[in-house]
Chains A and B, each alone.
Chain A
Amino acid sequence: MGVLVLIRLRHLGSVAVAGLLCLILAGAAAAADSLVIVTNQRYPVSKLTREEVREIYLGRRIIEQFLRIRPIDQSEPAIRTAFLQTVLDMSREAYINHWNRLIFQQGGLPPLLKESPEEVVKELLETDGSVGYLWAHDAEEQSGLKVLLTLPVR
């Protein structure tokens, strides 16, 4: 009886360890996800640098060849924070303050705010000049998008 209990305990321990491993691996996979800067197939360039994306989202790069650039933001906190930290090295508050001052200073339009990746994709496909950011795995599932830059998340 004592041996049986010991074997069952060992079995339970193995299951727990395996479960824990799965959780760690899943977490690592999520943490290793990348951000992609995406647009539609009609966008006139096929690559952007991180600095160029930064200039777009700070309102300093507004025209791409013949198109007005339309940056798109996401309200979902995880991806927005990741984007702001990775590309702009800014907090959400600092980013909003920057735009509030810029718009008040010289006019123009701030990035369009979308609530979900689906809305971002819809806007990207419909609007010429639109540029947005998505998790890499969300972008892979979409057709008609062009990836301009891939950024590992810090």
Chain B
Amino acid sequence: MRSLRLSSQRETRYGGGWRRRRSVLLLSALLFILSESSPSHAFEFRGFGDVTFTKNDAAGSQNSHGSFTLGQFDLYLTQAITDRIDVLAELSIETESEQSSQTGIDLERLQISYQAKDWLVIRAGRFHNLLGYWNLTFHHGRQLQTTIDRPSMLFFEDKGGFLPIHLVGLWLGGYVPAGPLLINYGIMAGNGPKITGLDPILLNGGSLDPNNAVDNSGNKAVSFNLTFHPLAVHNLGFSVCGNFSQIEGFDTAGLQVANINQQILCGELHYVTEAVELLAEYYLLLDTDKLTGLGHFVDQSGYVQLAYTFADKYIPYVRYERTAVDEGDPYMAMLEIIDTSRTILGFRYNLSSASSLKAEVRFVNPGVQGKPGNAHVFAVQWAFWF
């Protein structure tokens, strides 16, 4: 992730050796903390990992020869440091990019929270944004999610995503009973994202940066989520959510070339029992480039996923995703997001509650480099937690 990536001038000067030593030190410190953690709780899990094989039948695609990929090795810690104060940390070790074999350590989440009341929990740190169901539920642990990958509109910022998945700032939330409903609300405010790395001529090829360290503008991003749980149907929930931010775009020379006013409105419905998993999310993006005055643009994206579990082990699943981009939207152009649909058919086999094998075929339209017609992607994953 483009997170609190631990890069420095010293790293450049001394190369990979320093980075590897520092990684080992950080890992050792984390494992020490884990080994010293609190009394026995009903659930013990400390991390996630996965290995994935992907083959794309479209000539010229990145995985046309078939590739094994190390997924994120995700380490997770939660601890109560006082009666009311909890700390959560999530560290991920992953390859830096699809073109590089170098690994790096990212601080994916770090939050400190104060439990004031059931209806008021105050958190500060870096979180997953309050967008829908998936982004708040599955995070970086692929063992928890039924499928191999996230829906494409929820890809992480540095993996081609166009939604602000992470946010650094404050988060207020809690549970409020309301007659036949239990409402889980959340409000976040923090650094809005920016777009960096844009080609100075074409104004594309950029990626979202959540602004972990410094906010490049005074306009804070604000997001909200209201999730309703009917007490009569325990496994059902539905939400309305939104995110409002000002996103500046910078080219590779650091020159500002865009200033997008963005409003995201979203909704989701989930019904999750021991057998059935039904997820549906919808996102509406309203973009206005204030720098160029090119007008307003409306983009839509969403997915529906259905899975059914037989005998606790065998889980066939299907997912349909669609992203419709308003032609000329500079925000989507800068991130190179185009109209896309993906249909995924898959099967998951739970080796145990801690490990699973998944296999799926994806019908992706368009295929490589925007050419019409389906590309077929085959993927197999072995995921685990421990």
Which residues of A does B touch, CB under 8 Å?
A: 51, 55, 60-63, 68, 73, 75, 89-91, 93-94, 96-97, 99-101, 103-113, 129
Q: A93-B353, A113-B40, A113-B42 are in contact. Are A100 and B118 (CB under 8 A)?
A: no
Note all chain A residues with C-beta closer than 8 A to B113.
106-108
| B60-97 residues at the A interface, CB under 8 angstroms | 76, 78-80, 83-84, 86-88
1/0 contact string of B128-170 vs chain A (CB within 8 Å): 0000000011110100100000000000000000000000000
Complex partner residue of B139 from A60, A90, A94, A104, CB under 8 angstroms: A104
Note all chain B residues with C-beta closer than 8 A to A73.
42
B78, chain A: closest CB distance, angstroms: 5
Tell me whether B353 and A107 are in contact (CB under 8 A): no
Please name 21 pairs of A and B residues whose Cβ atoms are closer than 8 Å in the assembled complex, sorted by A. A55-B182, A60-B175, A63-B117, A73-B42, A94-B274, A96-B42, A101-B138, A103-B43, A106-B113, A108-B78, A108-B113, A108-B115, A109-B38, A109-B80, A109-B86, A110-B41, A111-B41, A112-B39, A112-B40, A112-B42, A113-B43
Closest chain B residue to A123, Cβ basis: B39
Tell me whether B88 and A107 are in contact (CB under 8 A): yes
Q: A93-B274, A109-B41, A109-B86 are in contact. Are A68 and B144 (CB under 8 A)?
A: no
Complex partner residue of A111 from B42, B116, B121, CB under 8 angstroms: B42
Complex partner residue of B42 from A63, A99, A101, A108, CB under 8 angstroms: A99
Tell me whether A100 and B41 are in contact (CB under 8 A): no
Note all chain B residues with C-beta closer than 8 A to A63.
115-118
Tell me whether B78 and A91 are in contact (CB under 8 A): no
Q: Complex formed: what's the CA distance from A75 to B231 in Å?
A: 28
Closest chain B residue to A109, Cβ basis: B80
Tell me whether B40 and A107 are in contact (CB under 8 A): no
Complex partner residue of A101 from B84, B87, B118, B144, CB under 8 angstroms: B144
- The verdict on B45 contacting chain A, using a C-beta distance below 8 Å, is yes
Tell me whether B118 and A51 are in contact (CB under 8 A): no
Tell me whether A113 and B41 are in contact (CB under 8 A): yes
Complex partner residue of A110 from B43, B121, B353, CB under 8 angstroms: B43
B44, chain A: closest CB distance, angstroms: 9
Closest chain B residue to A111, Cβ basis: B42
Note all chain A residues with C-beta closer than 8 A to B86.
107-109
Tell me whether A110 and B141 are in contact (CB under 8 A): no
Note all chain A residues with C-beta closer than 8 A to B182.
55, 60
- The verdict on B327 contacting chain A, using a C-beta distance below 8 Å, is no
Tell me whether B41 and A101 are in contact (CB under 8 A): no
A45, chain B: closest CB distance, angstroms: 13
Tell me whether A68 and B353 are in contact (CB under 8 A): no
A122, chain B: closest CB distance, angstroms: 12
Note all chain B residues with C-beta closer than 8 A to A91.
274
Tell me whether B41 and A96 are in contact (CB under 8 A): no
Note all chain A residues with C-beta closer than 8 A to B353.
93, 96-97
Note all chain B residues with C-beta closer than 8 A to A62.
115, 118, 121
Tell me whether A101 and B137 are in contact (CB under 8 A): yes
